[in-house]
A and B are shown apart, each in its own frame.
Chain A
């Protein structure tokens, strides 16, 4: 059997990555007949597809976010399980990004492509660790695809938060974090650092966080912040969607210290622009070192770069003798924007 050309297996089209031979799209941004979803963030997992194949956790999260009828039909797949779709074989492998996140391996005729979705190679107590899968073509994100993005040790950032809580016991600490994944990881890290007081939650993240707890991830005592008196919030930590931390909503807190847990906080101008007082460099995406180490380790001879800072990463690949090109897919990387609506719904 002759090897297929990679672009005969997967092709970028306006609705996302399309696999004609298998009759499906990966993380499509528009409704399609059959979608394979890498993870539950709203820029990757959208409602309205005919059939959805994803991990059980991703399907559960989509159901929590979009309701029972988010797709015509669903099928769960376990990590490592192989399924034949048309002329191709697919399997899902842990991406280490958030609970249930997966890289999708698509093989046909001896050629193997990994669509990695969003991933990180850093430790995360709330999801399965990233699995390195050798492949011919590696499709990588480039959210933090510049050498200035180095995320460092997340535990040290959490220590910074706790030191601030100790120094300002009369103020509330408000930690902006994406409601799926980041919030639960930050809580887990806070617990690992030995902080055992109740942690408060913005309404928009209660459901997802409870789901994490149901899945057996220990997060300690969590309380909804709604209805709690202002004075009682002194010296406490509250997790909220990033957009809420600069909103009217913050007026219920005593002299809040605004923190934001994100890889973007590595760059001062970004932190200042958002009015963040305590930037916490904690990311669920691979940093520059993570991206380049992962690309090299997959052994892929060809790299396709999707959303983020494509130019720098493509340049790096080429300087290492790898064939690389940007895929120019649109519609990814705005998980935060889609949270704005959620916030306003939850806390009108």
Chain B
């Protein structure tokens, strides 16, 4: 447990992806089975305990600490698990009789011991067992234990990253691990044996496994020069969420249907209304949308259905779910990913026709003979075939006819050509230092737009961005921030933002949403700095009314 705690501790502070990988891989290399397997399970979210509730942890500390001291400590630390981990009293030394010598300090539990014990432990036993472990562990160990059992690791590690680190153990491609992952279970002895060259590659026995998705590159204007329009098929890019819908048969003939997010997370439980429509064995790649009155609704509407563990009949009725398919990765005859896209597309059309279900349809292709024609279609989807659904189109997708379905983001195969983003001019208000390589740079910016108040026009913050600029621009903004700081609050600097004095940032973003959490009442999707407007005085930056108008247009869709 201590070595695992050390890993979590270090990961929690490390901002760099490559450095996180190094820390993880070195852990997997140093630590033996089955501990490292349970660590991998914890990091990929594959472990679930009947979680110890915060109330239980409060009770444990209440029985051991002065309530005033606990309150002062909790107030200072701000995190329950951490407070308890830090102030947990040292256990009373046990009576040291001659026969007990050397037994005063039982060794701290291993991760395996914790995981396997928790699996079988009754609810009433939990407090005593937890207390025993807390007695045996050090500060970091206690923190990790409490994070683990309450299911709140939150150390910025995706399941994908943990698997990539494991794959590096055997210099395997992480996609290979992804492919067999659904058939594996903790503590992954067979996986590690294969990675270390001691065993065969594990076989995925899951009848409805997730296939790692293929992603597109954003296209730039000069990319077209080297591309031949005839080599590509174009489709609309829908503003929904990418999903994989998989149906398969167990050995006993039972049908298993699952819906996965693009990262492979099983989101089946949130969409029971879609499952009956997926009655043919196969694996569809497509966009999850809400279709109401025969029209695809905006992303804002779809959001009502997202991130829910359970859904009410009313929600299903008010927000009817729909799958718009654009690829077929497998059918009853087997895997299709090694086929060229044009052939998969033909099979997909047949599959959708056989499925014959109103909730699942085909994402249409866009006919074009030249890039100019496609450009025109992208500018006006409504008259280029998207019809009433045009408002849910956020651009076009270009896929090479001969592209195999390759996991990840292979070069030159798929392209996304998004609509031009929304653009506003905003004023830099606050800057914060970044992390890792950027820790000496002010690289996180809060920006605002003008709004009227009783005391005249004032700036109201509307968003935060920390990328989009070049390295050279970062140096320029950093210099500007340092020279124009009006106040410092810890790592945050207030930067001068007056009508005649300050820096105007051109901010690009993908969409807007109402947000009660923001003072301005709006939140941006995917904001980034697209240009520095040294030429523009802050008084000429945009106003909140402009954003509100954009918002009205968005929600009207």
- A residues engaging B (CB < 8 A)? 146-150, 152, 160, 164, 167-168, 246-251, 255-256, 258, 266-269, 271-279, 289, 309, 311-312, 315-316, 319
Contact = CB atoms under 8 A, between A and B. Distances in A.
Interface stretch (B67-75, B201-209, B215-223, B361-369): B67-75
11 contacts: A146-B87, A147-B65, A148-B86, A150-B139, A152-B139, A255-B437, A269-B77, A271-B13, A275-B434, A312-B68, A315-B72
A339 B456 CA distance: 42
Given A148-B77, A258-B439, A274-B491, 20 more contacts: A146-B69, A146-B72, A146-B87, A147-B73, A148-B86, A152-B139, A164-B10, A247-B440, A249-B440, A251-B440, A267-B76, A268-B77, A268-B79, A268-B82, A273-B491, A275-B434, A275-B439, A309-B72, A312-B73, A316-B66
Interface in B1-37: 6, 10, 12-15, 19, 22-23, 26
Contacts of A268: 12, 77, 79, 82
A311 B298 CA distance: 54
A251 to B, nearest CB: 6
Given A147-B87, A152-B138, A276-B13, A309 B76 contact: yes
Contacts of B73: 146-148, 312
Given A246-B439, A258-B439, A277 B433 contact: no
A250 B434 CA distance: 13
Contacts of B439: 246, 250, 256, 258, 275
Contact of A148 (B22, B68, B87): B87
A168 B22 contact: yes
Contact of B78 (A269, A271, A315): A269
A277 B139 contact: no
Interface string B487-512: 00011000000000000000000000
Interface in B484-537: 490-491
A250 B78 CA distance: 30
Contacts of A246: 433, 439-440, 491
B139 A266 contact: yes
Contacts of B68: 312, 315
B13 A278 contact: yes
Contacts, number: 88
A42 B147 CA distance: 40
Which of B6, B13, B22, B139 counts the most chain A CB atoms within 10 A? B13
Contacts of A148: 73, 76-77, 82-83, 86-87
Chain B contact surface mostly: helix
Contacts of B262: none
Given A148-B83, A269-B79, A248 B66 contact: no
A269 B138 CA distance: 19
A316 B67 CA distance: 11
B106 interface: no
Interface string B427-456: 000000111110110000000000000000
Closest 4 CB pairs of A and B: A148-B86, A147-B87, A250-B440, A275-B439
Given A148-B87, A266-B86, A266-B139, A277 B436 contact: yes
A161 B109 CA distance: 25
Interface in B71-113: 72-73, 76-79, 82-83, 86-87, 90
A275 B433 contact: yes
Interface in B25-76: 26, 65-66, 68-69, 72-73, 76
Given A273-B491, A275-B433, A248 B440 contact: yes
Nearest to B440: A250
B66 A319 contact: yes
Contacts of B490: 273
Contact of A167 (B22, B65, B69, B434): B22
Which of A148, A248, A315 counts the most chain B CB atoms within 10 A? A148
Which of B23, B69, B435 counts the most chain A CB atoms within 10 A? B69
Contacts of B65: 147
Contacts of B82: 148, 267-268
Nearest to B74: A148
A268 B76 CA distance: 11
A266 B73 CA distance: 12
A149 B72 CA distance: 12
Contacts of B86: 147-150, 266-267
Nearest to B492: A273
A250 B66 CA distance: 44
A152 B143 CA distance: 15
B72 to A, nearest CB: 5
Contact of A279 (B13, B19, B26, B78): B13
Which of A247, A272, A312 counts the most chain B CB atoms within 10 A? A312
Contacts of B69: 146-147, 312, 315-316
Nearest to B87: A147
A266 B454 CA distance: 46
A174 to B, nearest CB: 10
Contacts of A168: 19, 22
Nearest to A318: B68
A138 to B, nearest CB: 20
A271 B12 CA distance: 11
Interface string B122-155: 0000000000000000110000000000000000
B72 A312 contact: yes
Interface in B139-195: 139
A152 B6 CA distance: 15
B92 to A, nearest CB: 14
A179 B6 CA distance: 28
B321 to A, nearest CB: 39
Contacts of B10: 164, 278
A332 to B, nearest CB: 19
B134 to A, nearest CB: 14
Nearest to A147: B87
A98 B397 CA distance: 66
A279 B14 CA distance: 11
Contacts of A164: 10
B333 to A, nearest CB: 48
Contact of A146 (B22, B23, B76, B491): B76
B136 to A, nearest CB: 15
B13 A315 contact: no
B91 to A, nearest CB: 14
A341 to B, nearest CB: 15
Nearest to A265: B13
B535 to A, nearest CB: 27
A148 B77 CA distance: 8
A106 B73 CA distance: 33
Contacts of A255: 437
Contacts of B491: 246, 273-275
Given A148-B77, A150-B139, A250-B440, A167 B26 contact: yes
A211 B460 CA distance: 53
Nearest to B86: A148
Contacts of A309: 72, 76
A308 to B, nearest CB: 11
A267 B65 CA distance: 19
A278 B455 CA distance: 46
Nearest to A253: B440
A282 to B, nearest CB: 14
Which of B6, B12, B435, B439 counts the most chain A CB atoms within 10 A? B439
B146 to A, nearest CB: 13
A249 B139 CA distance: 33
Contacts of A311: 72
Contacts of A249: 440
A273 B13 CA distance: 11
Nearest to A156: B138
Contacts of B26: 167
